[in-house]
Structure 1
């Protein structure tokens, strides 16, 4: 018997009784540490109460997650659940919109990420990945996360903006890194506007404003180009489809794709290299796949890294009306949060979940609701295919060239903005094969 067969429970699920401010700090800075503890104490469904009156109900059973992802988009508002991202992504971001507005934005962006478009990006991805791999230091420790950030940023800038080398691109690269390189506490500045005039939050706002200025310059210049129909980048595609598209809307789409499509893949790749360096058999199998051009195996490496080391620990849906979720009748305004980190390490879903086994993604597809790094339902990430293709291209460029060795003990995950990154930068040593 499942909870679906039981009477509906009235009232919020149990959860920590800590002060809201302390729960907020723990949620933003140590979610991967406290979530398993809270689940053990309060069960698969529990309530977290944050400062500002925000109430989150975490769900971690696959059947409950499927229920949330299959829920009506008019009831389960993902855009409202992502509201904390608004100061950076912008009000027109596909991540912040709901219902018809979300579907319209998604429809405009999807052609840039369909099968034909992905095939068109392959050669560029491969070239940039190979150029970056050739510059790796040999025989000494270095932070793989930094190198992965650099190459994925380069790829996304070329794909999203079609930007060539020049002063504007050179100025934009470090600004994008500064926008993303903030800790969990700094995210409070997104949620509480009064903090934005206080250091270090003001510095973050200034970095974002400088990046925005460059993006608007690029949009204005591109709008006047006569060859938009022949360009393959996302910005040109959007302008060709709608020459009068507002600059603010284009900026929000571009910033969303830049940030969501760059840092998450970079971090997944850093974790992939971190794990491969510590698992010789998995490394040898991945190198053989790289030599043979077996992209399916290389994507399985990235998928397993995303499962074991989730970049985003949870997602959110804000209820627009009272709704039964996981057997509880939840009030309007509750944010229901499928926990990526908990469901993907549940032994009910994956054998030996603490072990790094890329082959589990070759043998069979995971059951729905158990592997969700790209979310699910109508909100599933439009760049999922792009991310996996990019990961395979970069892993191939690295693994055909190098053997990898670990540095020190396995690294823990630490919070950076809303992501979880390797605490030491995923340090490894590379040697020529």
Structure 2
């Protein structure tokens, strides 16, 4: 099926433009820079000025993006037929990196088929099977942390989540192969917005730095294809994600490669950043730290998971998710043309006092009360048919990381003033790396 043309400078007529939600008249490039680097302040300002539904324009082609900030409007999007709300088309910029079979790039029947094959590896029983391996890796990492000396916990979390991906998801255990993969994978996951531009402008891929990145990717691919070939012969009885995928589905090597790279890129920085923010908050909140330590000691998974959830609410790693309309559709009281990009602003919902009293406060107990947040108001993993398939894995991973760290250490913030968020690709990370100091309990 041919891609849906973007609604933008080439396809938007004046009459249609007058029917769109209001929005800023700033040049497209200015709006793009504000969105890319300052969305956490740009979006609230736009909502305050234009209301719960507003329009921005972004490169390429001055594409029309309608931003939604009310849960009932966002539910209209998540509840619409996937054939009308394409998410894969909005991610085509990622194809040179993730591959054409990536779950994030597929729509319609292809997406349903691929998601169905992935689901057994992320079921409840499967997640419980991974938890012990994740805890062991987390304990090994936190044991190396410097004591009584400030350090950037975000980088430590990036190291740990990469190790979890290599060993728990890819199932690589050979020491020599791990030593080869670590520096290569670190370069892959450090993909910058500049590199991602190659998806919009393919001729760039033939020159540096794009060519250098793709050369690294090819080295990783050689190892991944070799792992896949070997695993096809030995996956029985193994407990890693790759082995479970082989046991549950009928995959080509290219399909498996694309899903593994997608899990790497979608699950590395996101979880690392979420946990960095969690430790950032705990280091500044002695009562919440003590609450978490008691939960870790008692094996109270619900309490530990609530801390991960609250970190993801206060500091949504991904601020918005997008869809592209494949046909003219009524959304949020507007009749939006085919090709419109819809953005569900997760960050605006999470900071709305109507849904989360005292939204600026880190309060894990809100997820444990008799009156928890209403359905559809907490959405760090998106929603509907495109909800992140790794959501359960991420929450399990965060729970085990907290268990390992809080069982071992007290946390303090050498600089009590909170660190501001800084845009890094699609994520919002602690500007100074979430600097903490730990002492033995």
Q: TM-score category by the smaller chain?
A: over 0.9
Residue 189 of structure 1 and its aligned partner are, at CA, apart by 3.4
Q: Which residue of 2 aligns with 1:59?
A: 68
Residue 10 of structure 1 and its aligned partner are, at CA, apart by 7.1
Looking at structure 2, the residues matched to 253 and 365 of structure 1 have their Cα atoms a distance apart, in angstroms, of: 34
Residue 74 of structure 1 and its aligned partner are, at CA, apart by 0.8
Looking at structure 2, the residues matched to 431 and 235 of structure 1 have their Cα atoms a distance apart, in angstroms, of: 37
Residue in structure 2 matching 1:320, options 326, 330, 344: 326
Looking at structure 1, the residues matched to 207 and 200 of structure 2 have their Cα atoms a distance apart, in angstroms, of: 14
Do structure 1's residue 20 and structure 2's residue 32 form an aligned pair? Answer: no
Q: Given that residues 29 and 184 in structure 1 are in contact (C-alpha distance below 8 angstroms), is that contact kept between their aligned partners in structure 2?
A: no
Do structure 1's residue 387 and structure 2's residue 394 form an aligned pair? Answer: yes
Q: 2:438 aligns to what SS in structure 1?
A: strand
Looking at structure 2, the residues matched to 179 and 39 of structure 1 have their Cα atoms a distance apart, in angstroms, of: 35
Looking at structure 2, the residues matched to 305 and 198 of structure 1 have their Cα atoms a distance apart, in angstroms, of: 40
Stretch of structure 1 that moved more, 119-128 or 396-405: 119-128
For 1:16-415, what aligned pairs fall within 5 Å after superposition?
16-53=24-61, 54-223=63-232, 225=233, 227-242=234-249, 245-363=251-369, 364-408=371-415, 409-415=417-423
Residue 199 of structure 1 and its aligned partner are, at CA, apart by 4.1
Residue 342 of structure 1 and its aligned partner are, at CA, apart by 0.7
Question: Alpha carbons of 1:184 and 1:165: their partners in 2 closer, same or farther (altered >3 Å)?
Answer: same
Looking at structure 1, the residues matched to 240 and 440 of structure 2 have their Cα atoms a distance apart, in angstroms, of: 34
Q: Number of paired residues?
A: 422
Looking at structure 2, the residues matched to 298 and 127 of structure 1 have their Cα atoms a distance apart, in angstroms, of: 17
Residue 401 of structure 1 and its aligned partner are, at CA, apart by 0.9
Q: Which residue of 1 aligns with 2:438?
A: 430
Q: 1:164 aligns to what SS in structure 2?
A: coil
Runs of 5+ in structure 2 lacking a partner? 1-16
Stretch of structure 1 that moved more, 340-349 or 17-26: 17-26
Residues 33-61 of structure 1, C-alpha deviations (whole Å, 9 max, x = no match)? 21111111221111111122222111010
TM-score (norm 1): 0.93
Residue in structure 1 matching 2:424, options 411, 416, 429: 416
Q: Which residue of 2 aligns with 1:3?
A: none
Residues 181-201 of structure 1, C-alpha deviations (whole Å, 9 max, x = no match)? 244454333333243345444
Q: Given that residues 181 and 417 in structure 1 are in contact (C-alpha distance below 8 angstroms), is that contact kept between their aligned partners in structure 2?
A: no
Question: Alpha carbons of 1:368 and 1:153: their partners in 2 closer, same or farther (altered >3 Å)?
Answer: same
Residue 334 of structure 1 and its aligned partner are, at CA, apart by 0.8
Question: Alpha carbons of 1:415 and 1:176: their partners in 2 closer, same or farther (altered >3 Å)?
Answer: farther
Q: Given that residues 93 and 198 in structure 2 are in contact (C-alpha distance below 8 angstroms), is that contact kept between their aligned partners in structure 1?
A: no
Q: Given that residues 307 and 344 in structure 1 are in contact (C-alpha distance below 8 angstroms), is that contact kept between their aligned partners in structure 2?
A: yes
Stretch of structure 1 that moved more, 63-72 or 74-83: 74-83
Residues 136-177 of structure 1, C-alpha deviations (whole Å, 9 max, x = no match)? 111111111111111122112222221103332222222222
TM-score (norm 2): 0.91
Question: Alpha carbons of 1:204 and 1:421: their partners in 2 closer, same or farther (altered >3 Å)?
Answer: farther
Residue 206 of structure 1 and its aligned partner are, at CA, apart by 3.3
Q: Given that residues 120 and 248 in structure 2 are in contact (C-alpha distance below 8 angstroms), is that contact kept between their aligned partners in structure 1?
A: no
Runs of 5+ in structure 1 lacking a partner? 1-8
Question: Alpha carbons of 1:184 and 1:275: their partners in 2 closer, same or farther (altered >3 Å)?
Answer: farther
Q: Given that residues 66 and 368 in structure 1 are in contact (C-alpha distance below 8 angstroms), is that contact kept between their aligned partners in structure 2?
A: no
Looking at structure 2, the residues matched to 271 and 416 of structure 1 have their Cα atoms a distance apart, in angstroms, of: 14
Q: Which residue of 2 aligns with 1:5?
A: none
